[in-house]
Chains A and B, each alone.
Chain A
Amino acid sequence: DAGVIQSPRHEVTEMGQEVTLRCKPISGHNSLFWYRQTMMRGLELLIYFNNNVPIDDSGMPEDRFSAKMPNASFSTLKIQPSEPRDSAVYFCASIQGFEQFFGPGTRLTVL
């Protein structure tokens, strides 16, 4: 299995632009997580999907952030409009049983 796949791996954009991050979970995993990692706050859970349904979005920082999971093999995290404080590494993870497996992350820089 290829593991969790994320794209793009790096994204540089200007403040105000829309950013879309993509994730393909491991086949057969029915839960998906989006995390954000910054130096100041460490790893934070943004949103959790189970069977494509958002279960917990309490970590989504504000309305500028939205996430979707239209099917079991694809999820997106969108930021619109982006701000410099959104700069971080965004990880997607999927779960088998209780064990979470992380993708390689997307390093986002908002100028």
Chain B
Amino acid sequence: GIQVEQSPPDLILQEGANSTLRCNFSDSVNNLQWFHQNPWGQLINLFYIPSGTKQNGRLSATTVATERYSLLYISSSQTTDSGVYFCAVTNDYKLSFGAGTTVTVRA
């Protein structure tokens, strides 16, 4: 399967700070998704972004498919942003997940 590396593994932020999470993958993909797993364990879809740039409120994402990486930007972080952020990719149907970035936002 496709190898997915996420960095950093852990991130501690003060409320209001901005941050960038990175996802590198080892092969061309037709699907890349970012998920937020909240403290209750639910996997929330953030972005479907195999290429290009998208924005949704304080979150935005950019995927450079030719260079095999994606970035997730969190601006003006809030405590509700805490949780684990996963990047997942595939070139067929089988999503390969990264190990995640654990984000802790402190008030």
Determine if B86 is an interface residue (Cβ-Cβ < 8 Å). yes
Report Cα–Cα, A99/B31, bound state, in Å: 7
Contact B42 A100 (CB under 8 A): no
- What 0/1 pattern do residues 82 to 111 of A give for CB contact below 8 A with B? 000000010100010011111011010000
Could you tell me how many residues of chain A have their Cβ less than 8 Å away from some Cβ of chain B?
Answer: 20
Determine if A12 is an interface residue (Cβ-Cβ < 8 Å). no
Give the number of A-B contacts (CB < 8 Å): 44
Determine if A14 is an interface residue (Cβ-Cβ < 8 Å). no
- Residues of B close to A102: CB separation below 8 A: 35, 42-43, 45
Q: Please give the residue numbers on chain B whose beta carbons come within 8 Å of chain A beta carbons, in ascending order.
A: 30-31, 33, 35, 41-43, 45, 48, 50, 86, 88, 90, 93-95, 97, 99-100
Cβ 8 A contact of A45, one of B50, B86, B95: B95
- Residues of B close to A48: CB separation below 8 A: 93-94
Report 13 cross-chain contacts, Cβ distance below 8 Å, ordered by A residue.
A42-B97, A43-B88, A45-B94, A48-B94, A56-B93, A98-B48, A98-B90, A99-B48, A100-B45, A102-B45, A104-B41, A104-B42, A107-B41
A27 → B minimal CB distance (Å): 17
Among residues of B, the one whose C-beta sits closest to the C-beta of A48 is B93
A87 → B minimal CB distance (Å): 14
Q: A98-B31, A98-B50 are in contact. Are A89 and B41 (CB under 8 A)?
A: yes
